Each structure stands twice: as structure tokens, then as C-alpha cells.
Chain A
Amino acid sequence: EAQVTQNPRYLITVTGKKLTVTCSQNMNHEYMSWYRQDPGLGLRQIYYSMNVEVTDKGDVPEGYKVSRKEKRNFPLILESPSPNQTSLYFCASIPSGTSGLSSYNEQFFGPGTRLTVL
């Protein structure tokens, strides 16, 4: 089944304890992206990647890191989580690495990771 998977789905952690949220897609998509969703603020883009070894900042990259060493995986790393990073996180992918130049805007979203930082 074609899908985007995220792990873990739920995580409660404490301030300063490094964590990684994994994202994997099995559709050979080139473009991948991370978003956070907060009440009243909608979805905000954290980082995106147009292809392997190519990553760029979205609107709210502070406090996050990403890597794209292989096409299928795009982990989100919080080196020192803080309570203001408590949020619902979504990973997404799009088929074409040139999606920014095409009309193909159909992002496939993962199921979400609910993170609480105490």
C-alpha cells in the first residue's frame, strides 16, 4: 500500500532530551516536507526537501533539524526540545522533485505525530 508512515505516533518527553521523529514513504517520491499543526495557527512548514541531500527551511525551522540521506526517509530531529514545540507534526511527500515547477500539488500526508514536551 502506498503510504507515508511516521513514528512514533505519540510521544511525551521532557525539555532538552533529544528526539527524532521518523518519516518514510514507499512511493519513490522526491519531495518531502515536515509541518507542525497548532490550534489557531493551521499548518506551518518546518523544512522541506526537493531531493536527496537537498533540504531547505520552511517558515518555522528554528529548533529543528532534518536530513535526507536517502529518498524514502526524512527524519525530523529536535536536538533540545522545548515546551513550545509541543504540537502535532505531519510529514508529507510529493511525486516529483520538480514539483515546484509543475502543477502536481497532491501531497500525501502521514498520519501525524503528537508530541508533548514537558
Chain B
Amino acid sequence: GESVGLHLPTLSVQEGDNSIINCAYSNSASDYFIWYKQESGKGPQFIIDIRSNMDKRQGQRVTVLLNKTVKHLSLQIAATQPGDSAVYFCAEKTSNTGKLIFGQGTTLQVKP
């Protein structure tokens, strides 16, 4: 079946360093890929999305890269801060349905 997965369950980085969180997906028909951040005790929060016809999109301190050849998605966080500590989920969606499939999540720990 369809699946979206993240490579590492936990990533630990030093404050100020850049973080890279990876995700592999399997459904070639997905039109959109989305990153969410979930802080402890809260619901997920939208970070950034990218359409399948793009390979890079930048936001504030975040960049999402999409490699359709190897079905790989990554989220880069520049100058990681303690407030970035959270669980990060990737998700995929096809434009003709309302279905959203999430990966399992990567916990980002930022060391001061």
C-alpha cells in the first residue's frame, strides 16, 4: 500500500547548526508534499508544502527539497533553535482526493 516514511526516528543537532530531516515516499501519483511540526502536547502545525512539479521551495529558515527520481523529500532548517525541538512529519496528498498520508515522524532535539 501507499506509505510515507522518515529515515530516522530521532535527530539531535547543536543549536545554530543546520538540520536536515528526510522522508521517503512511495506513491508516485502524489501531487503535494507537506511538512508539519508537532510540539509536545499540541496538534501538528503546517510548516511548508511543495507541489510535485517543483524540486525546491523556501520559506522562513526552512527549505523543502523534492527528488522525484528517488522519491525522497527533505526539510532543511537553517540555524536550528531550541524552539525547533519537536516531532516533524512529512505527508503526501493527491489533488483529486482529500486523503492525506503521513509518515511516522522524526523527533528533532536541539542541544544548547
A and B held together in a complex: yes
Query: A: which residues have CB within 8 A of B?
Result: 4, 31, 33, 35, 40-45, 48-50, 56, 58-59, 90, 92, 99-103, 105-112
**Complex alpha-carbon distance, A101 and B98, angstroms:** 9
Q: Which residues of A contact B32 (CB under 8 A)?
A: 103, 105
Query: B: which residues have CB within 8 A of A?
Result: 32, 34, 36, 41-46, 49, 51, 89, 91, 93-105
**Complex alpha-carbon distance, A44 and B42, angstroms:** 16
CB contact between B104 and one of A42, A48, A105 (< 8 Å): that residue: A42
**Complex alpha-carbon distance, A48 and B34, angstroms:** 17
**Complex alpha-carbon distance, A99 and B98, angstroms:** 7
Q: Which residues of A contact B98 (CB under 8 A)?
A: 31, 33, 48-50, 56, 99-100
How far, in Å, is B100 (CB) from chain A's closest CB? 6
**Complex alpha-carbon distance, A14 and B91, angstroms:** 33
Output the nearest chain A residue to B97 by Cβ-Cβ distance: A100
Task: Give 18 new A-B contacts, CB below 8 A, not counting A4-B43, A105-B32, A109-B45.
Answer: A33-B98, A35-B102, A42-B104, A43-B44, A43-B91, A43-B102, A45-B99, A45-B101, A48-B100, A56-B99, A59-B101, A92-B44, A99-B98, A100-B98, A101-B95, A106-B46, A106-B49, A107-B36
How far, in Å, is A102 (CB) from chain B's closest CB? 8
Output the nearest chain A residue to B98 by Cβ-Cβ distance: A48
User: Is the beta-carbon distance between B96 and A101 smaller than 8 angstroms?
Assistant: yes
User: Is the beta-carbon distance between A59 and B99 smaller than 8 angstroms?
Assistant: yes
**Complex alpha-carbon distance, A51 and B40, angstroms:** 31
User: Is the beta-carbon distance between A100 and B93 smaller than 8 angstroms?
Assistant: yes
**Complex alpha-carbon distance, A35 and B95, angstroms:** 19
User: Is the beta-carbon distance between B93 and A111 smaller than 8 angstroms?
Assistant: no
Q: A45-B99, A50-B98, A58-B99 are in contact. Are A103 and B44 (CB under 8 A)?
A: no
